[in-house]
């Protein structure tokens, strides 16, 4: 891999990769601490302390997870640039991670983005009463079979694919009872496993329409700049350049599936041979390897991996 001369893609994770202590190796990295300080000031909450000390329950609360993961992704990205890392040919983020991608591309001001994702988290949390929605991961079943199982299981309720993560991992979301029926229908069709997910709301399905409506109003008041780096969006797997098109895509993203398989395929078609994940965890790097095994997938998750990936340049 030669990040300085060969084109690469940068990707940013969403919810689920957070953990207490995940930024500890960057404790003395000035650009990272400054990023967390900027986010903390924007929200009036000490995000560094939350990430460093927890408690886990507070970190896992959607209204905290979304701004924390955005901040962590942007902080690691800034550490990469400060250390001399090259800029990518294209960026993308998984769900919430799309907001980090938009910050990296210069579309969104970071402080605005932090406040925006907290609002998004609150709107999503409030869209469906606790216990009424659910999500589940379906393993080793084709997207077509998952769609068919969901259609069979709906029975007047909502259940549909929410995250098309890899050819062997698809997450579904909807009414709790319908998700349960769809899990059984998927297993009947040959799914290896159907695993309920510990989430606080059924993200990326039609039940999020009330949240999307609120988000649309909020986004109308936020300033968007022209992208300095192409951003592949979740909802259409397209690169948009106008502020209005980017806003609209973010609104629809709230209640539409994350098309991650197609996003990775579109990146590889650029063409490029390396995808680097910025932020805690290595979830996206793992998915990239499943979707496009011919591509080098790296993850910059801490100070050691930052040094290692930079050295490959």
Residues counted in the chain: 313
Q: CA dist 173 to 9, 29, 41, 97, 263, Å?
A: 28, 38, 34, 19, 20
> Degrees (nearest 5) of the Cα angle 196, 198, 201?
100
Q: Of 175, 204, 256, 303, which is the active-site residue?
A: 204
Q: Say which residue the tokens 């000035």 belong to.
A: 30
- Rounded-to-integer distance, Cα 287 and Cα 85, Å: 23
Residue whose entry in the numeric block shows the structure tokens 């951003």: 231
Token reading at 64: 């905290």
Annotation marks residue 95 as catalytic: yes
Are 123 and 214 in contact by the 8 Å Cβ rule? The answer is: yes
Phi and psi, residue 101, nearest 5°: -60, -40
Query: Buried b vs exposed e over 73-82: b needs ≥16 C-beta within 10 Å?
Result: bbbbbbbbee
* 204 catalytic per annotation: yes
Radius of gyration (Cα) for the chain, nearest Å? 19
Catalytic residue selected from 17, 40, 95, 200: 95
20 by DSSP, 3-state: which?
A: coil
CA-angle at 63, arms to 244 and 102, nearest 5°: 30
Cis geometry, peptide bond prior to residue 55 (ω within 30 degrees of 0): yes
8 Å CB contact between 261 and 166: yes
CB 9 within 8 A of CB 276: yes
DSSP 256: S
Burial class (CB in 10 A: 0-12, 13-18, 19+), 244: exposed
Q: What residues act catalytically?
A: 95, 204
């Amino acid at each position: 891999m030669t990040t300085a001369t060969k084109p690469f893609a940068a990707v940013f994770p969403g919810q689920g990769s957070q953990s207490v202590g995940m930024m500890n190796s960057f404790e003395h990295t000035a650009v990272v601490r400054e990023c967390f300080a900027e986010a903390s000031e924007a929200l009036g909450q000490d995000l560094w302390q939350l990430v460093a000390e927890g408690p886990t329950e507070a970190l896992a609360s959607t209204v905290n997870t979304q701004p924390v993961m955005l901040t962590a992704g942007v902080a690691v990205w800034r550490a990469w640039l400060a250390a001399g890392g090259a800029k990518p040919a294209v960026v993308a983020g998984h769900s919430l991670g799309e907001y980090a991608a938009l910050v990296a591309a210069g579309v969104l001001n970071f402080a605005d983005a932090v406040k925006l994702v907290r609002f998004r988290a609150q709107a999503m949390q409030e869209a469906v009463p606790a216990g009424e929605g659910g999500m589940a991961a379906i393993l080793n079943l084709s997207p077509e079979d998952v769609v068919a199982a969901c259609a069979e299981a709906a029975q007047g309720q909502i259940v549909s694919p929410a995250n098309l993560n890899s050819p062997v991992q698809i997450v579904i979301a909807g009414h709790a009872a319908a998700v349960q029926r769809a899990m059984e229908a998927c297993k009947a069709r040959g799914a290896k496993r159907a695993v309920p997910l510990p989430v606080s709301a059924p993200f990326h399905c039609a039940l999020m329409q009330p949240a999307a409506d609120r988000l649309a109003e909020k986004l109308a008041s936020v300033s968007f700049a022209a992208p300095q780096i192409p951003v592949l969006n979740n909802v259409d797997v397209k690169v948009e350049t106008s502020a209005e098109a980017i806003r609209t895509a973010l609104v629809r993203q709230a209640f539409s599936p994350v098309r991650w398989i197609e996003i990775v395929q579109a990146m590889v078609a650029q063409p490029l041979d390396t995808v680097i994940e910025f932020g805690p965890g290595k979830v996206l790097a793992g998915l990239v390897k499943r979707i496009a095994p011919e591509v080098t997938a790296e993850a910059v998750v801490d100070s050691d991996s930052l040094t290692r990936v930079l050295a490959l340049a």
